[in-house]
């Protein structure tokens, strides 16, 4: 599990807005669940996390009343070029035992990254597990995720299929990550070659999200991706 730890605090400027996650093959690791802490003052920001400074690309605000918060990670500064301009939304659940235990965080926006499940959005990051400290804040988490997006750790993956592609065919990984960023995160750059393959399979009546997952998982080979789609 990659260790990425940054200090500091984050002011929560506005309200987050969830967007739906997509389906796919079940490759993500399971994560435990815990109770949620009611947000203080009618769902307003927790005073512990207010601060005067903000880093570009980080937005955090309450969502779904008192029991859940959503955060956007927008235009990741210094991130990998294949995700440049993408806006990645997170779900953050605060347990009753916070800050002595970490928040539960997952990606709502679908992403092609070795350390994030392309199915569930689960994240492989040590400060969200055994390396959490009570002095850490939500800003710590967001900055650590920003760094994780900029530099993946394929030898300690959350998604083995993505990690294998990252190591065995780096150029294909970049093109695939760029396409996912375009389709799901609103990034401006896509891959015309891969987009054409998607459209050809969609024209056969297959679900678009299923087509993207199948082609991405099968190294963009149309024949094997079609076999996978038919088997499902």
Residues identified as active-site: 124
CA distances 224 to 201, 216, 220, 221, 229, Å, are 12, 11, 8, 6, 9
In the beta sheet, which residues pair with residue 106?
91, 122
Q: What are phi and psi of 230, to 5 degrees?
A: -70, -35
Assess contact for 126 and 225: CB atoms under 8 A.
Answer: no
What is the Cα 186 distance to its own chain's centre?
14
Q: How far apart are the C-alpha atoms of 58 and 86, rounded to whole Å?
A: 12
CB 90 within 8 A of CB 106: yes
Residue 226 corresponds to which tokens in the numbers above? 């079609």
């Amino acid at each position: 599990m990659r260790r990425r730890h940054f200090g500091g605090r984050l002011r929560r400027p506005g309200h987050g807005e969830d967007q739906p996650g997509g389906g796919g093959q079940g490759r993500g690791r399971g994560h435990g669940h815990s109770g949620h802490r009611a947000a203080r003052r009618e769902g307003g920001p927790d005073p512990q996390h207010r601060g005067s400074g903000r880093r570009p690309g980080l937005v955090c605000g309450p969502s779904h009343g008192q029991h859940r918060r959503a955060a956007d990670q927008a235009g990741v500064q210094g991130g990998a070029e294949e995700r440049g301009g993408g806006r990645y939304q997170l779900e953050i659940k605060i347990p009753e035992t916070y800050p002595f235990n970490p928040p539960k965080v997952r990606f709502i926006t679908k992403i092609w990254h070795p350390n994030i499940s392309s199915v569930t959005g689960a994240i492989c990051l040590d400060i969200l597990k055994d390396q959490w400290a009570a002095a850490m804040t939500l800003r710590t988490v967001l900055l650590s995720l920003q760094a994780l997006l900029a530099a993946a750790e394929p030898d300690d993956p959350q998604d083995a299929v993505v990690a294998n592609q990252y190591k065995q065919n780096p150029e294909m990984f970049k093109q695939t990550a760029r396409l996912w960023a375009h389709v799901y995160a609103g990034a401006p750059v896509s891959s015309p070659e891969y987009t054409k393959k998607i459209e050809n399979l969609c024209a056969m009546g297959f679900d678009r999200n299923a087509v993207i997952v199948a082609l991405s998982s099968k190294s963009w080979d149309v024949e094997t991706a079609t076999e996978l789609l038919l088997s499902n």
